[in-house]
């Protein structure tokens, strides 16, 4: 296969030199010749996450978009399994270790410096059968704008992994408690913890919202997906989100968050909230 052929163009010594040229590896990537990049994210954890996300063993014929690819482990693994993959991230391609890993693997995955707010089908050649959004959700300040964009670029389904607050609720003094220990009823209420500064991670100011599992699930449903939680561990959770073209999106992303306006004969305006009962959302709207 071409993937294997291109990988063999580098000798083991050349690979070792390339790996050693970077000190900021995040992903642990098997680049052949018994070499694995020294990522902070271990091989075992990446394998655990792959299984938890219930990603297919074979991906031939699938178009995959890896959002927030970072060093590219998931993009390259999807490519290895036969998918046609595109990777995006807000960093330049050689800012992290994607470009180095791509050379080590002889990969052909195209990389675009692009945010989830700027997704463009004409550039990416979308839509995509499968969209991976791993470790991105809680970094989004404009969360629902991003989810609407992801809905548009997705043909079939999305896999999402994110920080959640069910077992990691940060109080004002910085201490961490279980959400249920504040009040067990809160676990079933869609709730977000807003991180204006570095409350979640002292060395990272790029975090914005931590939702509980209920909030993440409801946000995906609001954006037009049918969500299924796949698993939760520590302060993380994974979800499958199948695109639902029949979702009554006009209720949730109307002209003004579900409001319509009509002009009266005297020139005044009347606003009308769309009736959720007409869209099968009566229970949710109570």
Q: Say what percent of the chain tops pLDDT 90.
A: 82
Same domain, 264 and 234: no
Same domain, 133 and 272: no
Residue 243's nearest CA partner among 227, 225, 218 is 225
CATH, residue 205: 3.40.50.150
C-alpha span between 109 and 102 (Å, rounded): 8
pLDDT of residue 38: 98
pLDDT exceeds cutoff 90 at 266: yes
Contact 241, 225 (CB under 8 A): yes
Same domain, 161 and 264: no
Angle made by CA atoms 236, 239, 243, in degrees to the nearest 5: 150
Same domain, 121 and 158: yes
Q: Give me the number of domains the chain comprises.
A: 2
pLDDT exceeds cutoff 50 at 3: no
pLDDT exceeds cutoff 50 at 226: yes
pTM over 0.85: yes
Contact 148, 174 (CB under 8 A): no
pLDDT-based confidence at residue 91 (cuts at 50, 70, 90): very high
Grouping H, G, I as helix, E, B as strand and the rest as coil, residue 102 is: helix
Show the tokens assigned to 136: 């991105």
Distances (CA, A) of 141 to 109, 135, 217: 28, 14, 18
Same domain, 271 and 219: no
C-alpha span between 213 and 166 (Å, rounded): 7
Same domain, 75 and 164: yes
| Residues ≥6 apart with Cβ < 8 Å to 124 | 65, 86, 88, 112, 114, 153
Same domain, 179 and 253: no
Same domain, 262 and 283: yes
Same domain, 262 and 137: no
Same domain, 28 and 85: yes
Grouping H, G, I as helix, E, B as strand and the rest as coil, residue 166 is: coil
Same domain, 276 and 149: no
Same domain, 263 and 199: no
Range of the domain at 87: 2-246
Mean pLDDT of 5-18: 82
pLDDT-based confidence at residue 285 (cuts at 50, 70, 90): very low
C-alpha span between 174 and 205 (Å, rounded): 15
């Amino acid at each position: 296969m071409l993937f294997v052929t291109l990988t063999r163009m580098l000798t083991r010594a050349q690979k070792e030199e390339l790996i050693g040229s970077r000190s900021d590896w995040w992903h642990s990537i098997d680049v052949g010749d018994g070499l694995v990049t020294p990522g902070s994210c271990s091989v075992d954890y990446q394998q655990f996450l792959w299984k938890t996300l219930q990603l297919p063993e074979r991906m031939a014929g699938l178009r995959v978009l890896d959002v927030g690819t970072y060093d590219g482990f998931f993009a390259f693994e999807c490519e290895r399994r036969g998918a046609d993959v595109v990777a995006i991230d807000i960093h330049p391609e050689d800012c992290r270790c994607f470009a180095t890993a791509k050379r080590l693997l002889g990969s052909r995955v195209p990389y675009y410096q692009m945010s989830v707010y700027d997704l463009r089908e004409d550039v990416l050649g979308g839509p995509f059968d499968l969209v991976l959004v791993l470790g991105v959700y809680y970094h989004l300040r404009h969360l629902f704008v991003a989810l609407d964009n992801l809905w548009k670029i997705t043909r079939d389904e999305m896999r999402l992994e994110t920080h959640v607050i069910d077992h990691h609720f940060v109080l004002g003094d910085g201490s961490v408690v279980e959400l249920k220990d504040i009040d067990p009823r809160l676990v079933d209420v869609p709730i977000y913890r807003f991180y204006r500064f570095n409350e979640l991670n002292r060395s990272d100011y790029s975090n914005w919202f931590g939702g509980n599992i209920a909030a993440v699930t409801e946000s995906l449903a609001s954006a037009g997906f049918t969500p299924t939680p796949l698993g939760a561990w520590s302060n993380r959770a994974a979800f499958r989100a199948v695109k639902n073209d029949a979702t009554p999106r006009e209720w949730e992303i109307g002209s003004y968050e579900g409001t319509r306006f009509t002009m009266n004969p005297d020139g005044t305006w009347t606003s009308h909230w769309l009736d959720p009962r007409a869209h099968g959302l009566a229970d949710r709207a109570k």
